[in-house]
Amino acid sequence: ATISPMRSIGAVLSLFAIAAFPQQKPDAPMGWTKAKWGMTKGEIVKAFPEATEFYNHLTRRTLGLRHFEIGSQKLSVMFVFGDEPAEGLTGVVMESEGPFFDLASSAFLTRLKDKYGAPTETTTDDDRSLDGKTNHWEWDFQVTSISLAFGDFRNPKYDFCILQYRKKQPKAQDVL
pLDDT tens, residue by residue, 94-147: 988 876 666 666 788 898 999 999 999 999 988 777 788 889 999 999 999 999
CA distance 25 to 11: 25
- Confidence tier at 29 by pLDDT (50, 70, 90): confident
> Distance between CA 75 and CA 65 in Å, rounded?
8
Residue 149 has pLDDT above 50, yes or no: yes
Q: Which of 68, 74, 127, 61 is nearest to 101 (CA)?
A: 74
- Strands, E, within the chain: which ranges? 31-32, 35-36, 52-55, 61-70, 73-81, 89-96, 121-127, 132-140, 144-153, 160-167
What residue spans of 21-101 are helical by DSSP H? 41-47
